[in-house]
Structure 1
């Protein structure tokens, strides 16, 4: 793994994401963009269309889809369990520990992970990464909400959150159409492809907009633990679990990159909503995103061999 190889990988795959993210950051600073409205456009329109388009084109077998979902569940469960062990060993208070579990378990698999996989490995890997992203979205809106509420919400209430994730329905519809070999009319197919093409740039811009709104935390130790576990332990756990799950080729590339992304910006929303240490969460998100090229660049080189 030479220096020139690392530099080329960074320039070709990570730099485009960083530059567009920086544009979103500067736009937010200059014009105070309404990130909530932008996020809703992505959540309800672009994300489901992107998932539908990718899965319809790639026609992944149901067994392959199930394996990706199971791998995602296993990876996130292990990361959450390890964070609990570390937090209890360090005797962190409940609010800080809950914030750490959220940021370590829930990575930025959408705004960051999908563009990165797209640039580095193309549509085959992106289809697997999209399934990983959809699974994390479902878990975030159910398990994530339960964790953040410290048990104040029951499973039925959390389940209603899952039913509000439109990408879930897009995945189901794409799987059904593939199963019955349905061909879309050309005008509809082109409309979907056109909208899907705008999804990834919009996601990156939103990431920049959200990062411009974060506030700093005073707990440097907790920030270091959260960012370090997310960026270093995440891909190591993913690579270890990839062996028993038999992930290879595009499936390995798409899934492992998703395990290695920094903490999701959406964690800050839950932290603020449920009175956790929101400044800690946002600091982990910001620091992790800034440092992520240092860990993701060599990982992309390794996965590309």
Structure 2
């Protein structure tokens, strides 16, 4: 019950309030969703990725093992979604939207505080979650954008140009290089980075709220719930199977399984809005999966005690 109450009070309710504020602001002022989306892609997201990677302490062994887990997990979930997409007979942008809603999950502003709650501020488990966050920041900005543009039959040259303009793909190696070489960031530069990264969560959630407030709610319940089941129930079950397959035990196994249990990422909404690819479906999935996660994440936390 303590986990349930904490997740409700410190994750779901604050997220819901911020989303509601975005919806209210749209109703009052008709905010421009495209401008908000570009702010997230080109300013807020790169800032928080740099800050978290630059300030982290990650060993090479943990980095490689976590990356191996992530790639196996990503491939397994991708294959699972492809089977579902073919069975359901999705076409066009819906294929990409469903896929993104499952393989991109909220590894930053939801998973990091959750990790630190469950493992009581443990630096080791935090480093694992930061690696997952790094990959979940990189993939939407590369593969995610490629897949959306490919579904719209965009030229390869145009897709590559779009991807190469995104700051986050340069920020990740720069952050690792500066941390590895112990290169200090000048105070006048680091202060704005802190300001911008601190605004990431609020801006991303308000963007989601603006999208929810601007759309006509024609809820496709079966598709939204299918995505929720794949992300919130099948996702952690697949993660558990992979840690068993890899022979990972103890607190690392628990941290990896927990990282798979979080709701759909805001990145899926930002991509959908930026490239006009099923934004209503994507917004509804993020909102509903965040609400339902209070129950599913609590269940995963309970079951984690059986992972030794």
TM-score category (smaller protein):
0.7 to 0.9
1:288 Cα offset (Å): 2.4
Report which stretch shifted further, 23-32 or 144-153: 144-153
1:281 Cα offset (Å): 4.0
Match of 2:200 in 1: 199
User: Cα distance 1:170–1:276, how it changes in 2: closer, same or farther (>3 A)?
Assistant: closer
Matched, 1:17 2:18: no
Secondary structure at the counterpart of residue 205 of structure 1: helix
Q: Could you report, residue by residue, the CA deviation over 1:206-258 in whole angstroms, capped at 9, with x for unpaired residues?
A: 333333334434543222212211221122222332342848647953x5455
User: Cα distance 1:71–1:166, how it changes in 2: closer, same or farther (>3 A)?
Assistant: farther
Report which stretch shifted further, 109-118 or 287-296: 109-118
1:301 Cα offset (Å): 5.7
Q: Could you report, residue by residue, the CA deviation over 1:172-225 in whole angstroms, capped at 9, with x for unpaired residues?
A: 112112221223344444443344333333333333333333443454322221
Please report the TM-score for the alignment, with normalisation by the length of structure 1: 0.77
Backbone CA RMSD of aligned residues: 3.7
1:286 Cα offset (Å): 3.6
User: Cα distance 1:246–1:236, how it changes in 2: closer, same or farther (>3 A)?
Assistant: same
Match of 2:138 in 1: 138
Please report the TM-score for the alignment, with normalisation by the length of structure 2: 0.76
What CA distance in whole angstroms lies between the structure 2 residues aligned with 1:205 and 1:273? 15
Q: Could you report, residue by residue, the CA deviation over 1:123-151 in whole angstroms, capped at 9, with x for unpaired residues?
A: 94555444434423433344334433338
Match of 1:183 in 2: 184
User: Cα distance 1:134–1:215, how it changes in 2: closer, same or farther (>3 A)?
Assistant: farther
Secondary structure at the counterpart of residue 94 of structure 1: coil
Q: Structure 2 matches for 1:212-227, cutoff 5 A? A: 212-217=213-218, 219-227=220-228
| Residue among 55, 58, 61 paired with 2:56 | 58
What CA distance in whole angstroms lies between the structure 2 residues aligned with 1:161 and 1:198? 24
Unaligned runs of 5+ in 2: none
What CA distance in whole angstroms lies between the structure 2 residues aligned with 1:140 and 1:248? 30
Match of 2:91 in 1: 94
Match of 2:165 in 1: 164
